[in-house]
């Protein structure tokens, strides 16, 4: 009888040890986004919810950041698994362009997908009198955080338009703070690089009359970078914006690290495209994500896990 009890106890202990041994370790997915008033953040929250329910044992989190440049440097340092970044910033990261915020080439970056486009949106208080790029001279203008993706866009566009920062009073401020200062008459205009319908500009447009500054096609051509494409902000995107506004569009890219496991990268890619309708409810900009072009014209290599998905669905 004692032998049987001892055998039973040993068997139970062994079973417990086996159960403990095979229990899967959590899959951590930290999603690097941008400011909470931009577009990256709500879409990142939507993705975290999709991944938490769709990837077994996953623990998805969302981190608000200064966006593209910071996100790519954090990825390289192993402090995130997925990041939003502008296409031109990704190319600069790959090449180690120091003026763009990259002290050396970032060799660990891999693409998950080309996503929706960012639109350069230059808005000014109507009372500032700013209607064109040339009108920015002598005015107080916010261009985003220093060496952020938005600020790099501002540099390129102003240079193509024959302007320099010395022509205006430049402030390096995030979206929400820029809007607050325009409301308080402490800032004349802000340049924002984001998806359409961004919360900060919607908020500003609902409280005061604005002018929306065009970026003509000839200025876009002078930028000389294929990542910058002529586009339009459709009429009525914001309150009081009754006409379409010519501007620049730059594709956003979802980026990961080379050492993220292939299966995790595969699942992140698959779940993204399996849930586009759901993701579109997090922000309307996500509705522009398309499988057709997601794996094309990327400045960095695809992660093998993402590549496997695109081959499965015939997108490569």
- pLDDT for 90-137, tens place per residue? 999 999 999 899 999 999 999 999 999 999 999 999 999 999 999 999
pLDDT tens digits, residue range 243-281? 999 999 999 999 999 999 999 999 999 999 999 999 999
Q: What are phi and psi of 146, to 5 degrees?
A: -55, 130
Under the banding of pLDDT at 50, 70 and 90, the label for residue 186 is: very high
- Asked whether the predicted pLDDT for residue 205 surpasses 90, the reply is yes
DSSP H or E run through 62: strand 58-63
**Residue-level pLDDT at 4:** 55
- Contacts by 275-278, CB closer than 8 A, 24 or more apart: 275/50, 275/54, 278/46, 278/50
pLDDT at 227 over 90: no
Rounded-to-integer distance, Cα 68 and Cα 73, Å: 9
CB within 8 Å of 1: residues ≥ 6 apart: none
The token duo for 105 is 């080439």
Three-class DSSP category at 260:
coil
What are the residue ranges of helices labelled H in the chain? 2-22, 40-54, 68-76, 87-95, 149-160, 175-183, 199-205, 217-223, 262-274, 276-280, 304-312
* Pairing label, strands 109-125, 245-257: antiparallel
DSSP category for residue 259: T
pLDDT at 164 over 90: yes
Which residues, other chains included, contact 165 with Cβ-Cβ below 8 Å and sequence gap of 6+?
Answer: 143, 155, 158
Sign of CA dihedral 277, 282, 35, 166: positive
Can you tell me the distance from the alpha carbon of 279 to that of 273, in angstroms, rounded to the nearest whole number?
9
Instruction: List Cβ neighbours of 127 (8 Å cut-off, separation of 6 or more).
Output: 185, 209
Query: Are 217 and 157 in contact, with CB atoms under 8 Å apart?
Result: no
Rounded CA separation 112/90 (Å): 12
Check residue 20 and give its pLDDT.
Answer: 44
Q: What's the predicted TM-score (pTM) here?
A: 0.81
23: number of Cβ within 10 Å? 8
The answer on pLDDT for 31 being more than 90 is yes
Average pLDDT estimate for 283-293: 93
User: SS3 letters for 294-308?
Assistant: CCCCCCCCECHHHHH
pLDDT bin (cut points 50, 70, 90) of residue 225 is: confident
Rounded average pLDDT over 201-223: 96
């Amino acid at each position: 009888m004692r032998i049987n009890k001892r055998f039973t106890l040993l068997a139970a202990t062994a079973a417990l040890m086996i159960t403990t041994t095979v229990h899967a370790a959590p899959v951590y997915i930290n999603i690097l986004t941008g400011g909470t008033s931009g577009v990256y953040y709500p879409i990142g929250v939507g993705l975290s919810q999709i991944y938490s329910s769709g990837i077994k044992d996953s623990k998805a989190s969302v981190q608000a950041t200064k966006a593209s440049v910071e996100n790519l440097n954090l990825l390289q340092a192993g402090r995130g698994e997925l990041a939003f970044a502008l296409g031109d910033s990704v190319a600069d990261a790959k090449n180690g362009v120091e003026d763009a915020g990259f002290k050396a080439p970032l060799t660990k970056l891999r693409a998950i997908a080309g996503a929706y486009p960012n639109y350069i949106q230059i808005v000014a208080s109507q009372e500032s009198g700013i209607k064109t790029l040339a009108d920015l001279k002598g005015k107080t203008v916010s261009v985003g955080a220093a060496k952020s993706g938005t600020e790099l866009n501002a540099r390129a566009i102003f240079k193509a338009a024959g302007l320099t920062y010395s022509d205006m009073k430049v402030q390096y401020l995030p979206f929400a703070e820029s809007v607050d200062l325009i409301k308080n008459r402490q800032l004349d205009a802000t340049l924002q690089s984001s998806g359409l319908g961004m919360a900060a500009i919607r908020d500003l447009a609902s409280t005061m009359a604005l002018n929306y500054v065009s970026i003509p096609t000839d200025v876009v051509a002078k930028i000389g970078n294929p990542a910058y494409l002529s586009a339009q902000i459709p009429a009525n995107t914001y309150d009081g914006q009754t006409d379409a506004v010519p501007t620049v569009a730059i594709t956003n890219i979802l980026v990961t690290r080379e050492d993220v496991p292939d299966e995790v990268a595969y699942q992140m890619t698959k779940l993204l495209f399996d849930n586009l309708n759901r993701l579109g409810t997090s922000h309307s900009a996500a509705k522009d994500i398309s499988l057709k072009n997601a794996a094309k014209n990327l400045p960095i290599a695809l992660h093998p896990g993402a590549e496997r998905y695109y081959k499965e669905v015939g997108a490569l």
